Amino acid sequence: MYLDRFEWAVCEDGYEIEEIFPARKVGISTNLKPQIFIRQKSNKMKTYCPYQKIKNIHWKFGGLNETKQDVLSFISDYGLLGIGNIKTCEAYDEIISYKRLVEKLRNKINKDDLEQAAKIFNLSAGPNLTTQIDKISGKAIFQIYPVPRTLLSYIWLSFAAEITDGREWQKCFVCDETYPIGKHTGGTVRKKYCSDACKMKAYRQRKKS
Ligand SMILES: [Zn+2]
């Protein structure tokens, strides 16, 4: 599974809101609105794996309240989206415009309208990706798979995985292999093991202890 390969950085010292007022022109008195940015407080970064930290980050982002505080708290937990050229700050308005696109897609999936969801994805997503080649575990077969470059791309791909087969991924309690759950997979969140073999192994371990 490729989504679990993606790592992202979040500032250890947190983020802050910065309002920048455009320069006033002499003699013109207009009500100038400030531009709002969310900026990281320092360059002390730590990386994390969004897939391990939170399963439904894409749903969370699409459901954010459009307030500076809610956006700041999301960014503080998971980092900036990776939009734009400057790595250390992002414009609030731009974050909100992506949030609205993601929300539109989320609403279609929520209503099980996968055709419209796919349309929105194709029109709006354009995820920024790279590729990696990896050996399929236990087999002498290699596979190429996409890996997101930014948090926003990771969010888009998480939706793509849901659209293509209603899949979510879970890690086996015994062998750490990931396996799909959700629609058309025969598994739900309650499924704890990748296979009957692992299920038996866990059962034997429980009996021993
Ligand atoms: Zn297993």
Domain match, 156 and 178 both? no
And the tokens for 110? 């929520």
Q: What is the distance in A from the centroid of ligand 1 to the CA of 198?
A: 5
Q: What is the distance in A from the centroid of ligand 1 to the CA of 173?
A: 7
Q: What is the distance in A from the centroid of ligand 1 to the CA of 151?
A: 28
Print the domain residue range for 87.
3-165
Q: What is the distance in A from the centroid of ligand 1 to the CA of 176?
A: 6
User: In this predicted structure, which of 54-68, 108-122, 139-153, 181-195 has the lowest mean pLDDT?
Assistant: 181-195
Strand partners, 48: 8
pTM for the whole thing?
Answer: 0.76
Say if residue 192's pLDDT is above 80: yes
Q: What is the distance in A from the centroid of ligand 1 to the CA of 177?
A: 6
Domain match, 174 and 129 both? no
Residues 83 and 184: beta-carbon distance below 8 Å: no
Strand partners, 45: 11
Q: pLDDT value at position 154?
A: 96
Q: What is the distance in A from the centroid of ligand 1 to the CA of 175?
A: 4
Q: What is the distance in A from the centroid of ligand 1 to the CA of 155?
A: 27
List the shell of residues around ion ligand 1, using CB closer than 5 Å.
172, 174-175, 177, 194, 198
Specify the number of domains making up the chain: 2
Residue 103 CA, chain-centre distance (Å), reads: 13
Q: What is the distance in A from the centroid of ligand 1 to the CA of 170?
A: 11
Q: What is the distance in A from the centroid of ligand 1 to the CA of 138?
A: 12
Domain match, 113 and 208 both? no
Residues 109 and 115: beta-carbon distance below 8 Å: no
Domain match, 51 and 28 both? yes
Q: pLDDT value at position 69?
A: 95
Cα–Cα distance measured from residue 139 to residue 38, given in angstroms and rounded to the nearest whole number:
46
Q: Which of 63, 180, 160 is nearest to 117 (CA)?
A: 160
Map residue 13 onto helix, strand or coil: coil
User: In this predicted structure, which of 45-54, 118-127, 134-143 has the lowest mean pLDDT?
Assistant: 134-143
Cα–Cα distance measured from residue 121 to residue 101, given in angstroms and rounded to the nearest whole number:
9
Domain match, 177 and 142 both? no
Domain match, 200 and 122 both? no
Domain match, 195 and 93 both? no
Domain match, 62 and 126 both? yes
Band of residue 167 on the pLDDT scale cut at 50, 70, 90: low
Q: What is the distance in A from the centroid of ligand 1 to the CA of 195?
A: 6
Q: What is the distance in A from the centroid of ligand 1 to the CA of 172?
A: 5
Q: SS3 string of 79-127?
A: CCCCCCCCCCEEEHHHHHHHHHHHHHHHHHHHCCCHHHHHHHHHHHHCC
| Sequence letter at residue 173 | F
Q: What is the distance in A from the centroid of ligand 1 to the CA of 1?
A: 14
